[in-house]
Chain A
Amino acid sequence: MAKRIDVSGLSAYYGNFRAIDDISMTVEPRSVTAFIGPSGCGKSTFLRTLNRMHEVTTGGRVEGKVMLDDEDLYGPGVDPVSVRRTIGMVFQRPNPFPTMSIYDNVAAGLRLNGDAKKKDLDEIVERSLKGANLWNEVKDRLNRPGSGLSGGQQQRLCIARAIAVEPQVLLMDEPCSALDPISTLAIEDLIGELKSRFTIVIVTHNMQQAARVSDRTAFFNLAEVGAPGKLIEIDDTERIFSNPSVQATEDYISGRFG
């Protein structure tokens, strides 16, 4: 249930503006890869190219290649909808469907796939909520609206919703930036558990978080405001935080800019 992502020569545009330039990297399966870098360096944009969410934005356009094992995600005839069914995403702010109950939120993706029987659904919902460490808190109120939960619980609900469809990859776009420290800790613990089953990519502004949760870290930077973001280096997290090979990485990590 986890695949390798291989990106080569990828650039992304908003209209005529090139947001990220010529990025190549490999994301290992069953591991956590963190993207760090200053605001505007294109790390979120890059993340959204991995499940073809970038092109949803007006003027959004991508050049280059993204391979999921041996499937080209931008190949001709590839349906972005089916790409997104295999690559799940968790957003910066918790976004459960407010009109749906907790149960329906988790089941939403399965119902889209259309192959859900009621009994299987109960099982998958329970398994997913347990997988997101939320089951014990909500098992008595599965039919209550998801918007009634706390922010941290909502974010775990969103994670449960994403993993319910058993994706190959889980993308997380600053999943803790709207949460308090306790909820953040809960999510970080969860990421540690989930990486045994999924390939996880997480964008974070919090360098300690990257150091805590990730196996590999990629540092993005931009030359100046208005210039496209570039991948500076990607390496084992330990190495990036102790002995990076590029000076700019060390400057950023030690807080000299950014």
Chain B
Amino acid sequence: MATETPPATAGPTAPQPVKGANGAKGATRKGDRIFLGLSRGSGITLLVIMAAIAVFLTWRAALAINADEASFLTSFEWDANATPPRFGIAVLAFGTVVSSIIAMVLAVPIAVGIALFISHYAPRKLATPLGYVIDLLAAVPSIVYGLWGALFLVPHLTGLYEWLDQYLGWTGLFTYEGGAARSLFTVGILLAIMILPIVTNVSREVFRQSPKMQEEAALALGATRWEVIRMSVLPFGRSGVISASMLGLGRALGETMAVATVLSPSFLIKASLLEPGGGTFAQNIAAGFKEAGSMGRDALIASGLVLFVITLLVNGAARLIIARRKEYSGANA
């Protein structure tokens, strides 16, 4: 994951490398040469690791996909250990994307709200401890979230489920027929809580760096606090918030233990988000890896490759969004 996530604020404001007196001739002093070698080596290491992962995934995945008797992308079954093996990732892709979308929809607005509260509203006495609490939330291991989700969240969500069924059931997305709340929706809520700290922290840092002079410009025009935020803080922080959300999305897409603990998986897609069933890539790998034979493992690796590609696509899309607004997003200072 960490390999393809851009630093939150570097995008628009990153300084251009200067080609000049030193760059043209190459480093001549000993210290420069050593440092150049070290940093170049680090860069190459990164590329080598990425390439190794990609080659490994592609090679094992290709073995499995060639042997697959079902349609890999669209099939709803997962009998990778059978002969001949039959498996498809449709359910996993659906579950992964849907639970992550639910998590983003719930988490991003709240995270931005908390970040703004800490950076622009709360008195310092309150902002600092609140920041620590958020950091603490990030330090909780995901299996603990999973246990909390399974033992606390699941039994306590039935009330919310019934309410959703009553008022939003007509949409078809929120029909609920009773039973344990071990659905993609619960997973989404849990993932939202899990990605809240990273999205909040990165957004908070970005908002905190929003240039004072633009805020003063808005104030001097007679802007209220909210208008200052709307005119100068949010536009400045926009690309940072997108980056923060992508970091969060990356975590949500790949989260394993918490999902595996809460969800009751099945290879069926249900229209209602509140019905148990579905699965995610990571959860399915965790659940199936131990008992899988060699073909089963390769099949799981193939599904991991798809997750990898989805994450790449998401990051690429985020970069496009950020780049399109680039000339407007630089701080003028």
Contacts and interface: CB of A to CB of B under 8 A. Distances in A.
A112 B232 CA distance: 13
Q: Give the interface size class of chain A.
A: 20 to 34
B214 A95 contact: yes
Contacts of B217: 91, 95-97, 158, 161
Interface in A150-170: 154, 158, 161-162, 165
B127 to A, nearest CB: 12
B271 to A, nearest CB: 40
Interface string B209-229: 001011011111111100100
A196 to B, nearest CB: 22
Interface string B185-229: 000000000000000000000000001011011111111100100
Contacts of A67: none
A167 B16 CA distance: 41
A86 B220 CA distance: 10
Contact of B220 (A51, A82, A99, A100): A51
Tell which of A83, A96, A147 has the most Cβ of chain B within 10 Å.
A147
A83 B216 CA distance: 14
B268 to A, nearest CB: 46
Contacts of B224: 81
B333 interface: yes
Contacts of B238: 99
A51 B223 CA distance: 13
Contacts of B220: 51, 53, 84, 88-89, 91, 162
A113 interface: yes
A108 interface: yes
A112 B328 contact: no
A99 B222 contact: no
Contact of A98 (B218, B219, B227, B330): B330
Nearest to A171: B220
A53 B219 contact: yes
B68 to A, nearest CB: 49
B287 interface: no
Contact of A112 (B211, B216, B223, B235): B223
Contact of A147 (B221, B231, B332): B332
Contact of A161 (B213, B216, B221, B329): B221
A165 B223 CA distance: 12
B216 A91 contact: yes
B176 interface: no
A145 interface: yes
Contacts of A205: none
B233 to A, nearest CB: 11
B239 to A, nearest CB: 10
Nearest to A84: B222
The 6 closest A-B pairs by CB, nearest first: A85-B222, A99-B235, A89-B220, A95-B213, A109-B221, A84-B222
Interface of B: 211, 213-214, 216-224, 227, 231-232, 235-236, 238, 325, 327-333
